[in-house]
A and B are shown apart, each in its own frame.
Chain A
Amino acid sequence: MPIMSLTEFQRRVGGLNELPSLPAILFPVLNQLNENTDNVDLQKTVQLVSHDSALSTQVLHMANSPLFGLRQRITTLRGAALTLGVCRLRDIVTSCSLMQITPAKVGEWNAASFWEHSLACALISRNLARKLGYADPERAYLAGLVHDLGILVNVLLLPKEYSQVFKVAAESRRPLRDVEFEMLSISHDVTGDLLSTQWQLFDYLSEVMRRHHDFERATIDPALTAIVNIADLLCRTSGLGYGYEECIEVTLQNEPAWKIVSANSPRLRNLDMVCFTLEIESYVKEVRALVSVLFRF
């Protein structure tokens, strides 16, 4: 029996002013996506970040994580900008500023698990995109990072009900989206779409938020949406899911997303998925450690 009808949910969603705004820093940072990296003023980004001391600390922590592969320790934002380059710095600033707008815990829902999943999905999407020869792996990072933001909408708009959804999903080990549908008559991909519209995100990011479970209807960048779908599945079977262990069996070659990706990438046949999965498993500890540190600030 659904807790709430779709109409009732939409009435509640009508009050979108309850939702956090897009962090101010992300307007200029994300706008750089449209610019040639040679034209991006790194100094300007550093200045913007340095105005927020908590964000600066988070960015430095993340920049020094083994996940970003730096060989020496960086102690200043400027150093991070110069060593990591425009794209990596943008990824890190975006990740940290989105984490800042999230409440730590709402009932049964835990923000740390949510960000572990989102960050892992971002890293895996980028890695997979690279291996498949997708044109813009950095775009895949951002898409992976934001794909599940609809969950945040649900948590903030319906804290009590969503806590119950989460509890039922965790206890029954079922996919979160199935339980959302069953109990709320709406799922995080639909509410994610509402958020992306409010935040005026790029159309390809909106599409990933709306279609990552329904990628066959993607029209703007179907390959990107399929990559995020596969990364999402791999996260959920590698201990970086929604914060509980789902009872799922995934045969990638039978997944429709895999077929979309294979059609676009001849390189796929050279990818040993066991090795790739072991690579993902090596992220688990680092992602958990990083998110736990970032949530201290």
Chain B
Amino acid sequence: MSTNLAAPGNAASNPTSYQIRDLIYGIAGIFHTDSRLAFLEDRCGRRMKELNITSLRQYHELLTRSASRTTEMHLLLNEITVGETCFFRNQPQLAALQRLILPSLASSKEKIPYKHLRLWSAGCSTGEEPYTLAMILMEEANRFLRGFTFEVVATDLNDRSLQRAQEGVYGDYALRNVAPDILRKYFEPVPGGTEFRVRNEVRQYVKFSRLNLLDDARMVFVKSLDVVFCCNVLIYFDGASKQRVIQHFYNNLLPNSYLFLGHAESLFGVHDDFRLVHFPGAMAYVKTPVKR
């Protein structure tokens, strides 16, 4: 759910913008600072044009009082959380997963009869990250992960992004980091076009669903995770919301499992029970059981 932001502008010209900001924050934990209110107004403007609404106040009423308010909030969130990503995006993180974490997880589960790995791409946007993770798992299926089953849980708040993810069709830009042998192995050309579709063999491992990371009731069900990728999502959350989401990750990860955040994201002052791990060119957090 990495968000494309407009250039920082001035604070909102319309006081209703603040009410819409607070509404979005309350529902999704995404907080628009004063410098991003112009961006929020612009995105509300897109919806208002679609609905033939001329004032922000009317739109606020639609978001709070009308029978279609939940649907409209979904549609507005779709406008706000537009993903920008590509396959094999953060190479050092993926190298750490493939070279160090997967062998270590495989070895720690060696004596367990049901050998299963569960990865979660939280804020999966248009699907590039979860499909990449599935491809890495498939690459290791005949080495470290021999005898393992695996799955990638992929969630996002944005319906439109999820729909594109499920279609699994991508152009040059999203595929710019994909090596030719990986492209041949895991993608098929879309007939009559320049795009490629992710093969069904990969898609079968990825389960997409819409999830608000602040939805406590649903978050508790994403359990028994070995690795979570939640990159450039929490930057839009304020401290309290971040703590809630991180606590869910902590509860849902298995002991000694890993959490990857975006390059500059830190849990310093947010959560004390994860330990920072350095890999070559990448950092992650490991869940260490709390000693009470």
Contacts and interface: CB of A to CB of B under 8 A. Distances in A.
A248 B277 CA distance: 10
Contacts of B263: 278
B278 A239 contact: no
Given A247-B99, A273-B268, A278-B264, A239 B275 contact: no
B279 A273 contact: no
Nearest to A250: B278
A249 B278 contact: yes
Interface residues of A, number: 24
Interface in B88-117: 96, 99-100, 104
Interface string B270-292: 00000111111101001000000
B136 to A, nearest CB: 16
Residue of A246, A251, A272 ringed by the most chain B CB atoms within 10 A? A251
A275 B100 CA distance: 23
A234 B268 contact: no
B265 interface: yes
A249 B277 contact: yes
Contact of A245 (B266, B267, B280): B280
Given A237-B280, A238-B281, A245-B280, A251 B275 contact: yes
Q: Is the interface of B mostly helix, strand, loop or mixed?
A: mixed
A257 to B, nearest CB: 13
Interface residues of B, number: 20
A256 B281 CA distance: 22
A250 to B, nearest CB: 4
A245 B92 CA distance: 11
A257 B278 CA distance: 15
A274 B264 contact: yes
Given A237-B281, A247-B99, A247-B100, A275 B275 contact: no
B275 A253 contact: yes
Contact of A237 (B267, B268, B279): B279
A82 interface: no
- A-B interface, 4 closest residue pairs, ranked by CB to CB distance from nearest: A274-B266, A272-B268, A237-B278, A250-B278
29 contacts: A173-B99, A234-B278, A236-B280, A237-B279, A237-B280, A237-B281, A239-B280, A239-B281, A247-B100, A247-B280, A248-B280, A249-B104, A249-B277, A249-B278, A249-B279, A250-B277, A250-B278, A250-B279, A251-B276, A251-B277, A252-B278, A253-B276, A272-B269, A273-B268, A274-B264, A274-B265, A274-B267, A274-B283, A278-B264
Given A273-B276, A274-B268, A274-B276, 16 more contacts: A234-B278, A238-B278, A238-B281, A239-B281, A245-B281, A248-B280, A249-B278, A250-B279, A251-B275, A251-B276, A251-B277, A251-B278, A252-B276, A252-B278, A272-B269, A273-B266
